[in-house]
Each structure stands twice: as structure tokens, then as C-alpha cells.
Chain A
Amino acid sequence: EAGVVQSPRYKIIEKKQPVAFWCNPISGHNTLYWYRQNLGQGPELLIRYENEEAVDDSQLPKDRFSAERLKGVDSTLKIQPAELGDSAVYLCASSLGGGGSGEQFFGPGTRLTVL
């Protein structure tokens, strides 16, 4: 069974440029999460989707971050414009949701460097 797929794995951009990350969750997983992990810290939730609906985006900086999950499968996280402080690893995770075990399966992440 394929795991959570993310691309790209690495991205280097200059500040003020836009950037996008893509995630393909495990087949059949209705819940999808985007986390940001700063160096030396634990992941912090940015947004959670149940199918195509964003049910928790309270931690998403909406002035520059946006996300979508069309058709309730793949998801894209965008930053526009990027700032130096956005340098981090962006992790995507998925779970069965809906009263399941709650276990989240993580992708390898995208390491973003903003210069």
C-alpha cells in the first residue's frame, strides 16, 4: 500500500515569491492534515480537511497561506508571498477519520528554504 506522497521534497525560493506544495493521501483516508515543523520543534497543525471541507483552519495564516482539497483527495498548500520565517518542513498526513483510531500517517515532508 502506498503511503502519503508529497512533492516537491525540497524547495528553495527567494522571499516574496509564491510556492506550492502537493499532497496525495493514502487511498480511502478522508481526513487530511497540513502541518508546519520548524527546526527543533514538533509539528504544528495548519489545517485539517474532512473530505473536501476545511474543518479546522484556525492556525492557518490566511493573509498569505491558502489550501485546497478538490474532490476530497489530493491537496495543495500555497504560500504567497513567502517570508523568511516560512522556512520550515511542511508535512502532510492523512487518517481514516470519522471515529477511527485517530492514527495519522505522515508523508516525508517538503523542506522549504526562503532566502
Chain B
Amino acid sequence: AQSVTQPDIHITVSEGASLELRCNYSYGATPYLFWYVQSPGQGLQLLLKYFSGDTLVQGIKGFEAEFKRSQSSFNLRKPSVHWSDAAEYFCAVGDNYGQNFVFGPGTRLSVLP
């Protein structure tokens, strides 16, 4: 069965510092990979997605992620974090039909001024 792990439950970074959130997946077919962000009291917003092609994908709000098939990873990065980036981040894996969609447990990001 497919699964997603996010090893870091909570990460704290200083504003302006770089960020990397880890995501590892287990999926039997070609994975479609997603990163969503959830601010308090809000629904999930898609940051970026990977389907095929270039393994480095760019998303909104200055985020990027790199797909590494050999490591079954899809880590999220941002070169300089802003205070408004404080939120919960979820990695997800699925297929292009919206089936077999599985979320990771999430990583909570705190940003220090």
C-alpha cells in the first residue's frame, strides 16, 4: 500500500534562513507528488506538484521541490523563509486520476523573527 512519511513533526527556522522539509513515499506505480500548505483555520492550498519531466519543480510563494526516484523522496525547499510561511505542510502522493491519494502526517513550521 502507498504511504508517505514526513520525518520532522516540527521545524523552527529564523526568518530569512533557508528551509528544507523532507518527504519520503512508497508507491507501487509512477507517483504523482504534491505539497500542500495549511494555515491555521484554513483549507489546504497546493504549493506545487510533480507528474513527470524535470525533477526540480517550482511552485508558488518561492517554494521548490526535487523528485529523487532513487531515494523515493520529494523534499520541499525555500531559500529564504518569511514569517508568513509559518504553517503546516503536507506531502501527498497519488495518481493522475485522483485515486489512491495519501497524505503524510505533516510538518509544522515555526518562523522566528
Interface residues of A (CB under 8 A from B): 4, 31, 33, 40-45, 48, 56, 91, 93, 95, 97-109
Contact = CB atoms under 8 A, between A and B. Distances in A.
Given A4-B43, A106-B45, A107-B43, A101 B103 contact: no
Contacts, number: 63
A35 B19 CA distance: 29
B35 to A, nearest CB: 12
Contact of A101 (B51, B104, B106): B51
A75 to B, nearest CB: 15
Interface of B: 4, 32, 34, 36, 41-46, 49, 51, 90, 92, 94-99, 101, 103-106
Report whether over half of chain A's contact residues are helix, strand or loop; otherwise say mixed: loop
A3 to B, nearest CB: 8
Contacts of A33: 98, 101
Given A103-B34, A103-B49, A106-B45, A31 B106 contact: no
